[in-house]
Structure formats: C-alpha cells, structure tokens
Structure 1
Amino acid sequence: MSKNKGARIVITLECSCRNSINNNKRKKGIFRYTSTKNRKNTPNRMELMKFCPACNQHKKFKEIK
C-alpha cells in the first residue's frame, strides 16, 4: 500500500536577475534552488532571499512553475 502525497510539494526557486544585462559577472546561465513547501499553509508563490553565484550577491528568488 502506498501513502498519499500529502500537502508538501517540491518547488523550484529561480533568481530574479535572470533577465538582467549584467549577469555575466561570474558565470553564465540561470541559477536555481529546490525546496519544499506546504501547499495548505502557503498557497501563493514563495519569494526568498538566497545567494546567487551568477551575480555574487543575495537576491530575491521567486518560485517558478
């Protein structure tokens, strides 16, 4: 028997600097984090401050689909 998935889901967080012109400071590409959230407690998209190695500073990471 298998259990149901429950309220926790895996989400992907992407840096908000992905469309900026000066994102070639350190390395090319889009940096993403993965995390989990409770679907019942936070139904809206999450935004967290995380470190972006592409721009070498803390930026706002937004949840993507």
Structure 2
Amino acid sequence: MFTLAEVARVMERWSHTGEALDGRYFWCSDGLIVRDPGIDNITQVLAGLLDDGDFTDVLQRLDDE
C-alpha cells in the first residue's frame, strides 16, 4: 500500500532519475494507494473493502509457485 504523499515523493525522485518517463506515471503490480498513512487507516480501508465486497477484486491472492 502507498499513500498519495509517498507516490508523489517517488514520482518526484523519478523525474530526476529518468525512471517511468521521468516520473510521468506510477504503476506497480497489485498496488493499492491509500490517502492517509498509518495502521489504523489501512485497517479501515481493508475493512471497508471487505464490507463492500471489493477485497478480492482489489487484492489478488498470489499463487504459491
């Protein structure tokens, strides 16, 4: 999971390193961006995903292979 601030920080760094077309996009496999940091907030997001029935759509189970 990422906060918006962390995504912004990474993209800013990439604008100087040349990664991701100079920081013009952010992508990660199975990435979930949350607005606010902290375990309580992340727990609330996960609980909300479960309550709304979206948990398995947003987070995919990885195979053991």
The TM-score range, normalised by the shorter chain, is under 0.3
TM-score when normalising by structure 2: 0.19
TM-score when normalising by structure 1: 0.19
More helix by share: 2
More strand by share: 1
